[in-house]
Structure 1
C-alpha cells in the first residue's frame, strides 16, 4: 500500500489540506536582486583590491620603482643632450610620459593577472553562475586594475615632482584622460586574461604586444624626432594619444591636438569595455 499523500497526512494531523502553510510555516522571503547589483559589484572590487594589497610590493611599489629607474637612466644619459625650446625641459617632458607608461602597464597587468588566476583556480566560473550580471563581474575586475594603474601613475608623479618641477598646466586633462586610459587598458587586460589558458600565454602578450606598444608611443621621445614613416606608424598606436594627453596635462607640451587625444582615448575605452563585456556575457574561455 502506497504512502499517503500530503493532504491525507495533514488531515491526519488535524490540519486542513486547503491551507498547509499553517502547519509548514511561510516560506522565507526571497531578497530581490536589483539591476545593477551595486553591493555585488562593490564586493568583487573590494576583494580584488584586498588581494592586490597583500602583494603591494609587486603590484604598486615595484612598478613605481621600475618607472623611476627608467627616469634616472634617461636623465643621466640624455638630459644634457635634449632640448625642446620654450619653458619645457627634457625631464619635464619625460616625467609625464613615464608616469603614463607605468599607469598603462600596471592597469593592464593588474586586471589580466586576477582573471587568469581565478580562471585557473575555477572561481571565475563560480562567479559567472552567481546572480550578478556578467558585465558587473567584468567591470569589477577592470576597476581593480584601473585603480592599481592610477595609484602607480600618481606615485611616479609624486616622487618625480620632488626632483623635477612640474607645472600641471592643464589639470582638467589629468582628471579626464587618466581614468579613461587606465580603464581602457584594464578592460584590455581582462580580455587577455580570458584568452590566456596558462601563464605563458599571458607573458607572451605582454612581451610581444603591450611592451612594444608602450615603448613605441612617444613616452621617451618626441614624435618630431623620428623619421616621417616612423611618426606615421606611431600615430596609429592608441597608447600614443594617452601618453600625449597626460604629457599635455602635466607640462603643457603636446604632439597632437588635446581634443583628438582625448577622443581617441575615450573611443578606445568604449571599444575595450564593449569587447570585454561581450566576452564575459557569452562565457568565452571562462573555464581553463
Structure 2
C-alpha cells in the first residue's frame, strides 16, 4: 500500500462516517486556545464584573435583608447573575471570533479546509459554550463565598446552562457571519442581548410587572433561561419549567439550522 493510499484510509477513519471528527476537534481546540491565551480578559474580567453587580445590589442598595418570596434576595440574585455572565460570554466568543476572521481575511482558510458546514457550526458553537460554561463555573465558586449556593435540581442547572450557552453561541455565529465590523456585533449586544438580559427577571420577579411589560417577559427566551436556571438552585420557578425546556429547545434547533445554512451557502463569507 502506497503512502498516499495509507493517508486516504487514515483520513476516512478520522471522518467516522460523514462527520469529520478530526476537523471538528482541530477547529474546536483552536477556538478554545484563542481565548485561553488571554484568560484574564476572557474569563477573569467577567467574574470580577459579575461580583461587582452582586455587591452593588446586595450591599450598596440594601438588598441584604430583602426577600423574593421565601428566598433571600442574594440567593435569588446569584443564579441570574451566573447565567447572565455565561450567556454574554458565549455570544462574545463566537461573534468576535468570526468577525475577526472575516476582517483579517483568514475565514477562507476554514471554508477551504476539508470540513463541512456541520463540523464548522458545531466547532464554533461548542467553543463559545465552553467559554460560557467556564465563566459560569468560576462565577459560581466566587458567588458561593458571598452567599448560599445550593443545588436543588441538578438537571435544570445543567440543561438551562448548556442550552443557554448554546443559544447565545449560535446567535453569536449568526451575528459574526452577518456583520462586517465589530461595531455591528456591539450593536446587537447593546440593543438586543443586554436589554433582553436585564428585562428577564435577573434582578427582580416578573410578577412585579404589569400590562405590556409582563406580556413581553412571557415571550422573552432569556426569562425562561434565567428562571429555569434559578429553579435548579432555589427549587422555585415563576413559569412552567417544561414550557421553558421546549421553548429553548425549539429556538436552539432553529438557530442551528440557520447557522448551518449560512455556512453551507457561504453567506457573506465568500468574497
Q: Please list the CA deviations of residues 57-112 of structure 1 after superposition, one character each: whole Å capped at 9, or x if unmatched.
A: 121111111111111111120414632233x1111100001111111101111111
CA distance in 2, matches of 1:275, 1:78: 45
Matches within 5 A, 1:140-219: 140-219=123-202
More helix per residue: 2
Q: Please list the CA deviations of residues 26-46 of structure 1 after superposition, one character each: whole Å capped at 9, or x if unmatched.
A: 683251442201111000000
Q: Is the CA contact 2:85–2:135 (under 8 Å) kept in the aligned structure 1?
A: yes
CA distance in 2, matches of 1:26, 1:181: 48
Query: Which residue of structure 2 lines up, in the alignment, with residue 41 of structure 1?
Result: 24
Query: Which residue of structure 1 lines up, in the alignment, with residue 255 of structure 2?
Result: 272
Query: Which residue of structure 2 lines up, in the alignment, with residue 120 of structure 1?
Result: 103
CA distance in 2, matches of 1:241, 1:280: 29
- Larger Rg over CA atoms: 1
- Superposition TM-score, scaled by structure 1 size: 0.87
Query: Which residue of structure 2 lines up, in the alignment, with residue 59 of structure 1?
Result: 42
Query: Which residue of structure 2 lines up, in the alignment, with residue 28 of structure 1?
Result: 4
Q: Please list the CA deviations of residues 100-147 of structure 1 after superposition, one character each: whole Å capped at 9, or x if unmatched.
A: 111110111111111111111122112111110012112111111111
The two structures, once aligned, show a CA RMSD in angstroms of: 1.7
List gaps (5 residues or longer) in structure 2: none
Query: Which residue of structure 2 lines up, in the alignment, with residue 109 of structure 1?
Result: 92
List gaps (5 residues or longer) in structure 1: 1-24
Q: Please list the CA deviations of residues 133-172 of structure 1 after superposition, one character each: whole Å capped at 9, or x if unmatched.
A: 0121121111111110011112111111112112211111
Query: Which residue of structure 1 lines up, in the alignment, with residue 212 of structure 2?
Result: 229
